[in-house]
């Protein structure tokens, strides 16, 4: 451990003990601002703190304990780090979280050190500056071919025969009035840089990740409920034993015997992954069939047709739905594919990415530059021009 790191760890401990002088607090905050990695973490914590304050509209007496607990659980793991460094950097993250646990110190520091745009010598932001994270947005294609643009702010009612579609606050909800004899289909398409939530006519809840789509009927008639998807979609299905639910992905079919599961079927990924959170599903591909139980994942290679079932890290699989990226032994290319979809960027390589594996959890609400800072702290460097991100070094 360097003398500098040891010194600042002691300052952190003094702060936790309530013994920091004003000068020491200023030094401690300056240290957190001293690198892209620290500043990115600080920005994430600041955002979470402000969100909590806005929900309460006041500074409650228990804020220190509540913020400390919440941030330790959710933000101390947000750092993307190379695995050999994970423990040390998580300690730094936890210590920095505790630094913001006291509301008075937070407001003091914010006044003394106004927020700045984060920059780095290793990341060149050309033309457009930073890129904001994705938002709730989608395109709804009706049965007659009409196209409706949806976003988080829109509120509207769309009528299709006996079916009424309500859009409110980033969610789409279908309601069937009376009997619907004819079956017509809608398609919900979520572009890169977006996500969207829909409630199907049977009451089932569906979340679509960026660069995903779902085709579905406006009313479920007949002996089965069926939808077709591309990309990544999370389902919470309303049970109906007399009308089972099916999800089709190319030539694969998921028969739903339970309620909560995730299907990841992006064209640029090597496999189609079906992960069961609760209940039971059958995954069928040709003559192959696998029954999943909670905590299991079926991994299908669409090229060879091989399908295996393995235990799943459920939290990692559905992290996108809860507002995070989560990586475990992920390559730089794996990470950048996810970033390209959420931030609507194109990625190219002047130099092949390094072979290091990364792990950690990052908030999807951060601007792109914050995440790039976290990555470049572990070797790669980037050039961002407009919406084109180039990996300029893979060290």
pLDDT digits (tens, 9 = 90+) for 215-260: 999 999 889 999 999 999 999 999 998 999 999 999 999 999 878 9
What φ, ψ does residue 18 adopt, rounded to 5°? 75, 25
Q: Which sign does the torsion angle of CA 149, 154, 158, 164 carry?
A: positive
Confidence label for 114 from pLDDT (cuts 50, 70 and 90):
very low
H/E stretch holding 151 reads strand 147-151
Residue 352: the pLDDT is: 66
Under DSSP, the state recorded for 133 is: P
Least confident of 33-47, 66-80, 139-153, 339-353: 66-80
Q: How far is CA 190 from the centre of its chain?
A: 14
What the chain holds in terms of domains, given with CATH numbers, is 3-122 (no CATH), 133-202 (no CATH), 222-312 (2.60.120.1440), 324-393 (3.55.50.30)
Residue 317: the pLDDT is: 95
* Rounded Cα gap, residues 229 and 247, in angstroms: 7
DSSP lists the bridge partners of residue 82 as 358
Question: Which pTM does this prediction carry?
Answer: 0.71
Q: Which two tokens stand for residue 183?
A: 């079956």
Residue 148: the pLDDT is: 92
Strand 123-126 versus strand 381-385 pairing type: parallel
* Rounded Cα gap, residues 273 and 332, in angstroms: 20
Residue 29: the pLDDT is: 65
Residue 43: the pLDDT is: 54
Q: Which two tokens stand for residue 175?
A: 């309601």
Residue 21 scores a pLDDT above 80:
no
* Rounded Cα gap, residues 232 and 206, in angstroms: 11
């Amino acid at each position: 451990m360097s003398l500098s790191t040891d010194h600042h760890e002691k300052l952190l401990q003094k702060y936790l003990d309530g013994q920091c002088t004003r000068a020491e607090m200023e030094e401690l905050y300056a240290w957190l601002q001293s690198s892209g990695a620290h500043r990115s973490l600080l920005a994430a914590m600041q955002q979470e703190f402000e969100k909590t304050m806005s929900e309460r509209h006041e500074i409650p007496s228990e804020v220190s304990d509540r913020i400390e607990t919440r941030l330790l659980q959710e933000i101390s793991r947000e750092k993307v780090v190379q695995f050999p460094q994970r423990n040390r950097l998580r300690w730094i993250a936890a210590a920095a979280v505790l630094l913001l646990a006291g509301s008075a110190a937070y407001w003091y520091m914010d006044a003394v050190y106004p927020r700045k745009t984060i920059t780095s010598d290793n990341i060149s932001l050309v033309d457009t500056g930073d890129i904001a994270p994705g938002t709730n947005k989608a395109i709804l294609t009706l049965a007659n071919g009409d196209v409706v643009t949806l976003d988080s702010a829109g509120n509207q009612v769309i009528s299709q025969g006996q079916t009424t579609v309500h859009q409110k606050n980033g969610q789409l909800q279908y309601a069937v009035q009376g009997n619907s004899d004819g079956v017509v289909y809608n398609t919900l398409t979520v572009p890169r840089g977006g996500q969207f939530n829909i409630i199907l006519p049977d009451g089932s809840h569906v979340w679509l990740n960026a660069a995903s789509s779902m085709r579905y009927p406006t009313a479920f008639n007949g002996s089965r409920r069926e939808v077709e998807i591309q990309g990544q979609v999370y389902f919470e299905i309303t049970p109906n034993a007399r009308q089972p639910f099916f999800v089709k992905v190319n030539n694969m079919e998921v028969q739903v015997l339970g309620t909560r599961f995730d299907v990841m079927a992006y064209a640029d990924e090597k496999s189609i992954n079906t992960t069961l959170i609760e209940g039971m599903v059958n995954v069928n591909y040709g003559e192959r069939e696998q029954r999943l139980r909670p905590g299991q994942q079926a991994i299908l290679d669409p090229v060879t047709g091989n399908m295996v079932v393995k235990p799943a890290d459920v939290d990692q699989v559905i992290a996108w739905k809860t507002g995070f990226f989560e990586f475990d032994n992920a390559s730089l290319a794996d990470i950048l594919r996810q970033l390209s979809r959420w931030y609507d960027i194109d990625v190219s390589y002047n130099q092949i990415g390094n072979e290091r594996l990364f792990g950690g959890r990052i908030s999807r609400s951060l601007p792109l530059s914050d995440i790039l800072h976290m990555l470049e702290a572990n070797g790669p460097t980037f050039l961002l021009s407009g919406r084109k991100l180039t990996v300029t070094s893979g060290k």
